[in-house]
Amino acid sequence: MKRDPRLRGLSSEHHQALVLARRLEHHETWSEADGRALATRFADELEPHFRVEEELLLPALRAVGQSELVARTDQDHAAIRGLVLDAASGDGDAARRLGPLLTLHVRWEERELFPACEAHLESAVLDEVARRTPPR
């Protein structure tokens, strides 16, 4: 799928999220150290990604009438954050549930959210996204 170059940074971050999701789905045991590692990785990788979407893309989408996409993204982000918090405190079941949810969320953003951004958002918004998320 051809992606607007200004969204490629976010898309490349999705690849890392899918790698994490796969690991979580197949994780046999869960320890406190695993929880700490997940919390650190979330804070370093996923939370900044979420903030770019929440601070730039979602307000712009809301302004052009795409409130259903905004609501879905907000719900997914809240659910992911909740599972990360539970998994970080030692809940292995939460970690295993996080994997499939993260996969579904990434796929949905690539298939629904980003195409809507490309179709509806002004260049200035996408330019700022590119500035904050350079491709890796």
pLDDT in tens, 84-127: 999 999 999 999 999 999 999 999 999 999 999 999 999 999 99
Which DSSP category does 30 fall into? -
Average pLDDT, the chain: 95
Provide the residue type at 44 as one letter.
D
CA 115 to CA 64: how far, in whole Å?
14
Q: Encoding tokens for residue 113?
A: 């959210």
SS3 state at 29: coil
Among 34, 18, 28, residue whose Cα is nearest residue 99: 18
